[in-house]
Amino acid sequence: MAEREAELLERIEQLEAENDALRGSSGRSGSGSGTAGSAAGLRAVPAAGEGGAAAAGAQGGPLGGIKVLDLTQYQNGPNATVLLGDFGAEILKVERPGGEPGRGIGVAPGASASSSSYLGPYFEGMNRGKKSCTLDLKQEGAREVLRRMVQWADVLVENFKPGQMESMGYSYEVLCEWNPAMIYAANSGFGPRGEWAARGSYDAVCQGMSGWMVSQGGGPSHPPCNSPHGIGDQVGSMYFAFCIVSALTARERFGVGQRVDCSQLGAMTQLQALGLSAALHFAKEPDHGSVGTECATACFCHYKCKDDKYLCVANAEARQWGHLCEAIGRPDLTDQFATANDRRGPGNLMHSQLQEEVFSKRTREEWLQIIPGDLTPCAPVNGMLDVTNHSQFWDNDYLVEIPYPEYEAEFGQPYKAVGCPALFSSTPPPLPSKSAPKLGEHSVATMNDLGFSAGEVEQLVAQGVITAKPATEGKL
């Protein structure tokens, strides 16, 4: 073990020395030849104040210049790649000729997966800003197309049922021969090892398997509760994107491409780390049946106001609790329930008292004006429409407007979408500027950029390997 550690340390020092020697150079060598993972291909870190290519790249966001080959479908994978796109990566979505199944979810009556009309919030939300190229991976003619795509890409992302890529002849080992520096990222239902590894999964299945449904239902003696919005997919996609960026960071530091395996089950396990830690330590789980409906403590709860709208408060510290008590006109409660344990014990009783005697006497907006939010945390309990109309989400670009002429013509209003959830001082991500692509919108342009001749493209179309759409602006 000590010898192995010494070898790794020596290798890291060697790579750091080589990277220092490359400081000031631009780009990454061998992106098309499969040699980008060598030490000579490490991206040099620009010194403070340097301009040129480094400064230009910074305008594309923290992932500007990263190229992602997106073979994912439905929600878990597509939302991971849309997050990478939000941070500046270029996303090429590769779909079967009829379109990935997500195109058909929530579509307007009469629309189809290949329709040019607005396809609804599910597909649009998971695929905005991407390019779309059709490719029938089951045909022999697709092999050369995929090989060139892999050599172009920094990352390949897929969330097929385990074994599907291998069954088509595209195992990680094969793709790694084409581009050793590429990150191959796969997201499965249950992880790559164990007796459940080969099973398929959807969000609801993972919610059940992970313990989430029982937890949200209030415990094992209560009916399970399925959470909305595909939480297993959504959380899984965020962890998936995080792991992909981690692998890219490792490639920059150590010069290695690699396979990354994530899963819905792994992400949901991490989401429940607090509750699972208690179960691991004490071999017990809550079974009180009151998740989300009752308050364990009055200072971490929601209250119904005079106008039947809800307000939530959260006071972890004594000083915050004191500020709340002063603001609501009950300074006597500050000393009466001075410690966290004092406030935790009689929570429901105190909550009932505050609900009836205090919060029911004013409207929610009045309480938001009275309670000093900078001293004691509080906020409205918003519905989805409340969120879309609250300035805080727009001020931080968490919600944005995207040009979408077809949508504007049909609905008579701007197209609005979820934006990037973070701000960067030196490498600001570009604001989303495009809606989800039409099926195969960039197929011909992609083939041209990959070096296929006009005759070869016609042959690919005739064989049904790709579907032809008008070539659009923009190169790979």
What DSSP assignment string belongs to 356-376? Answer: HHTGGGS-HHHHHHHS-TTTS
Which pairs count as long-range contacts for 21-29, CB under 8 Å and 24+ apart, including other chains?
23/47, 24/50, 26/52, 26/53, 26/54, 27/53
What DSSP assignment string belongs to 188-228? Answer: ESS-SSSTTTT----HHHHHHHTTHHHHHHTSTTS-----S
End of a domain among 363, 382, 401?
382
| pLDDT of 32 | 36
How many other CB atoms sit within 10 Å of the CB of residue 208?
Answer: 15
Sheet holding 90-95: strands in order across? 131-134, 90-95, 67-70, 155-158, 183-188, 258-263
Question: Is 239 in the same domain as 209?
Answer: yes
End of a domain among 366, 382, 398?
382
**Is 193 a member of any domain?**
yes
**Is 279 a member of any domain?**
no
pTM (2 d.p.): 0.83
- For the segment 283-325, what is each residue's pLDDT rounded down to a tens digit? 988 887 766 556 767 888 899 999 999 999 998 888 998 999 9
Question: Is 265 in the same domain as 324?
Answer: no
- CATH number of the domain encompassing residue 202: 3.40.50.10540
Give the range among 158-162, 339-343, 404-408 with minimum mean pLDDT: 339-343
| pLDDT of 58 | 61
**Is 428 a member of any domain?**
no
Mean pLDDT of 353-362: 93
CA distance 96 to 301: 48
What is the total count of domains within the chain? 3
Q: Which two tokens stand for residue 341?
A: 């344990």
Single-letter residue type at 145: V
Question: Is 216 in the same domain as 336?
Answer: no
CA distance 57 to 380: 40
Higher pLDDT, 469 or 182: 182
Which domain covers residue 40, as residue numbers?
1-21+33-45
CA distance 465 to 457: 10
Question: Is 221 in the same domain as 263?
Answer: yes
| pLDDT of 431 | 82
Could you tell me how far CA 291 lies from the centroid of its own chain? 26
**Is 472 a member of any domain?**
no
Percent of the chain clearing pLDDT 90 (strictly above):
64
End of a domain among 349, 366, 382?
382
Question: Is 1 in the same domain as 123?
Answer: no
Mean pLDDT of 441-456: 96
